[in-house]
Amino acid sequence: MDTWTLLIGGAIGLALALFGVRMLITGHAPASTTRSFRTVHDAGLYHLLFGLGLLVLVAGTRLPGDRTSIVTAVVAVMLAGVAVVRYRPRGKKDAMPPQ
């Protein structure tokens, strides 16, 4: 993989993870994010898990070992899977349906 691609992927993963951590610590999120998720906690964990998954995937391409890239890819997919299944954007339950 190209080094620039890895740097950009790592930067995006770090940004997502930090965004998630910030939401979890402060309990606040931007309005667009708040509308998309049931709670700020869900939004924070969703972004944190996706960011960590991307960081693990990028790191796995550079770490030594025969099976390192496969193991890190599996871990990254598992993190993303938990994020999508448990913390996916759903909107608020009390939101009015579109008319």
Could you state, in order of their start, the residue ranges of all structural domains in the chain? 3-87
CA distances to 20, 64, 76, 95 from 14, in Å? 10, 21, 14, 32
Q: Which residue has the tokens 């009015």?
A: 96
**In angstroms, rounded to a whole number, what is the distance separating the alpha carbons of residues 33 and 83?**
15
Per-residue pLDDT band for 1 (boundaries 50, 70, 90) equals low
Mean predicted confidence (pLDDT) in 39-44: 94
* pLDDT, tens digit (0-9, with 9 covering 90-100), for 57-97: 999 988 898 899 999 999 999 999 999 999 888 866 655 45
**In angstroms, rounded to a whole number, what is the distance separating the alpha carbons of residues 48 and 46?**
6
Task: Tell which wins on pLDDT, 1 or 7.
Answer: 7
Mean per-residue pLDDT over the chain, rounded: 89
Residue 63, classified by CB atoms within 10 Å of its CB into exposed (0-12), middle (13-18) or buried (19+), is exposed
Give the rounded percent of residues in the chain with a pLDDT score beyond 70: 90
Nearest to 84 by CA among 32, 47, 55: 47
